[in-house]
């Protein structure tokens, strides 16, 4: 894998060979297709053949997209990666995009690549990678460090920073610079519950939920021995685990003041006999279906199955508070987003950016929700009546105020999994809690070999 450096000189030389065409977008910054990241080519093309010679003040005063249309004299070829599940939807958007700009000839190729694997595919050869690709937000630092994302210094059809949820914008930003277009905001977790068992006030407090569940002989399920979920307790108490600037190792405060209170709180929850650890995600809908669970912590991927089982008693909300050190603490959560990114090596960076804006605008995020039940990152889309009527998406929106983008290195997972399993099992060996936390933090913050 090579970083986007070698091509910078070539790109700059090509840009100097052609007449200037103003493409300043909403950001009001430099005109060359949205940014100054290494390797970023001019908005239409890195070659002079695709840029029309014109530099009049009249053209500079025009809309930047119209300037780009006039400057584009060859077929715009874009390679786009989205997940296998999104192929049909994406093809529909590609067709709509072409129809929106009939004066330009497009050749857009659609490829299938899971967001979870996008980073590996792109960084294998950045220069040969697709022009536009969808990826999970936790990959952004490695993609930026690998020179695989064009900085979004300009926007052309909507204000990406201003019109998306703050958490999604934060997740798309590295060192104060925006590098991606938020597409979804639905990879997180919250509380599903049976509203024939729990009232809306009951689900505000985990203590109250446990009391009601005991009375009704029901249980509450959560994958506490899974590090992704365990995070909610420690972060809720103000303790952090963060990815360091090297993009590989972690820093962690779980073993500092207040950490043993969190550990004891989890042990106490497990000893309630009502709040139980769920081993596998598949056990969540199964446990609701067989009547074991009256409430579960999960995400939107289980919404359909749970709604079918709970029927008219189906409900969802943010995570509750829990007792920690004699105080009520609001449970936090990891938040996950899917993004569209533009490869700075694209021959058509400007069009790749405009396509990414089109794919992620409010109308198309609403369309994605209607077609696939995908939770939008766009504020207007998230506030639409149809989205608000969907319990799982509405619950995720409530939890968003307490959610944090997932930014941890690989060494976080195994020690946190082990810690969660030990605590929810009641600390069976009776290990000193400070020692448990010290050991876990030592593993989480260890150098990566």
Residues 285-335 have pLDDT tens digits of 999 999 999 999 999 999 999 999 999 999 999 999 999 999 999 999 999
Please enumerate in sequence order all residues whose Cβ is within 8 A of that of 429, keeping only pairs 6 or more positions apart, or say none. 422
CB 178 within 8 A of CB 152: yes
Kind plus residue range of the DSSP H or E element containing 295: strand 293-298
The full set of domain ranges for the chain reads: 6-184+339-388, 187-335+391-444
Please enumerate in sequence order all residues whose Cβ is within 8 A of that of 412, keeping only pairs 6 or more positions apart, or say none. 227, 241, 250, 252, 444
Q: What is the pTM of this model?
A: 0.78
Residues 82-106 have pLDDT tens digits of 999 999 999 999 999 999 999 999 9
- 3 state SS of 419: helix
> What is the third-level CATH fold of 6-184+339-388?
D-Maltodextrin-Binding Protein; domain 2 (3.40.190)
pLDDT band at 70, cuts 50/70/90? very high
Q: Which CATH number fits domain 187-335+391-444: 3.40.190.10, 3.40.50.920, 3.40.50.1820, 3.40.50.150?
A: 3.40.190.10
pLDDT band at 250, cuts 50/70/90? very high
pLDDT band at 62, cuts 50/70/90? low
Identical fold for domains 6-184+339-388 and 187-335+391-444, yes or no, is yes
Residues 190-223 have pLDDT tens digits of 999 999 999 999 999 999 999 999 999 999 999 9
| Residue corresponding to tokens 């590090």 | 227
Q: What is the pLDDT of residue 449?
A: 82
Q: Which residues of 176-192 are buried (b: 16+ CB within 10 A; e: fewer)?
A: eebbbbbbbbbbbbbbb
pLDDT of 36 > 80? The answer is no
Backbone angles phi, psi at 186, to 5 degrees: -125, 15
For helices 227-236 and 413-424, angle between their N-to-C axes, nearest 10 degrees: 80
pLDDT of 75 > 90? The answer is yes
CB 203 within 8 A of CB 317: yes
Q: Which of 429, 226, 117, 13 is nearest to 130 (CA)?
A: 117
């Amino acid at each position: 894998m090579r970083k986007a450096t070698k091509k910078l000189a070539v790109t700059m030389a090509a840009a100097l060979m052609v007449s200037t065409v103003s493409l300043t977008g909403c950001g009001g910054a430099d005109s060359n297709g949205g940014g100054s990241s290494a390797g970023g080519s001019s908005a239409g093309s890195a070659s002079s053949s695709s840029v029309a010679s014109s530099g009049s003040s009249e053209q500079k005063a025009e809309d930047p997209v119209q300037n780009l249309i006039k400057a584009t004299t060859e077929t715009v070829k874009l390679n786009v990666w989205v997940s296998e599940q999104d192929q049909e939807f994406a093809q529909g958007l590609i067709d709509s995009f072409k129809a929106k700009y009939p004066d330009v000839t497009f050749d857009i190729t659609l490829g299938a690549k899971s967001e979870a694997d996008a980073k590996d595919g792109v960084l294998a050869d950045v220069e040969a990678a697709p022009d536009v690709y969808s990826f999970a937000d936790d990959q952004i630092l490695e993609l930026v460090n690998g020179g695989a994302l064009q900085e979004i210094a300009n926007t052309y059809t909507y204000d990406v920073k201003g019109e998306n949820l703050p958490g999604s914008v934060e997740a798309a930003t590295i060192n104060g610079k925006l590098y991606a277009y938020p597409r979804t905001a639905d990879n997180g977790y919250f509380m599903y519950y049976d509203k024939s068992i729990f009232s809306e006030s009951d689900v505000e407090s985990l203590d109250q939920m446990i009391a009601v569940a005991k009375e009704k002989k029901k249980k509450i399920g959560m994958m506490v021995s899974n590090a992704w979920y365990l995070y909610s307790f420690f972060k809720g108490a103000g303790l952090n685990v963060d990815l360091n600037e090297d993009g590989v190792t972690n820093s962690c405060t779980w073993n500092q003041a207040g950490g043993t209170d969190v550990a004891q709180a989890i042990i106490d929850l497990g000893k309630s006999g009502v709040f139980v650890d769920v081993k596998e995600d598949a056990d969540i809908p199964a446990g609701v279906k067989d009547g074991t669970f009256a409430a579960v912590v999960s995400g939107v991927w289980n919404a359909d199955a749970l709604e079918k089982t709970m029927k008219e008693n189906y409900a969802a909300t943010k995570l509750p508070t829990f007792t920690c050190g004699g105080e009520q603490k609001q449970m936090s959560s990891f938040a996950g987003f899917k993004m569209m990114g533009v490869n700075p090596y694209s021959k058509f960076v400007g069009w790749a950016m405009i396509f990414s804006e089109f794919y992620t605008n409010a109308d198309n995020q609403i369309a994605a929700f209607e077609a696939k039940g995908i939770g939008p990152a766009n504020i207007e889309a998230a506030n639409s009546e149809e989205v608000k009527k969907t319990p799982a998406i509405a619950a995720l929106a409530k939890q968003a105020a307490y959610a944090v983008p997932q930014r941890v290195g690989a060494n976080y997972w195994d020690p946190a999994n082990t810690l969660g399993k030990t605590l929810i099992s009641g600390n069976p060996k009776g290990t000193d809690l400070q020692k448990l936390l010290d050991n876990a933090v030592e593993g989480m913050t260890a150098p990566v070999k």
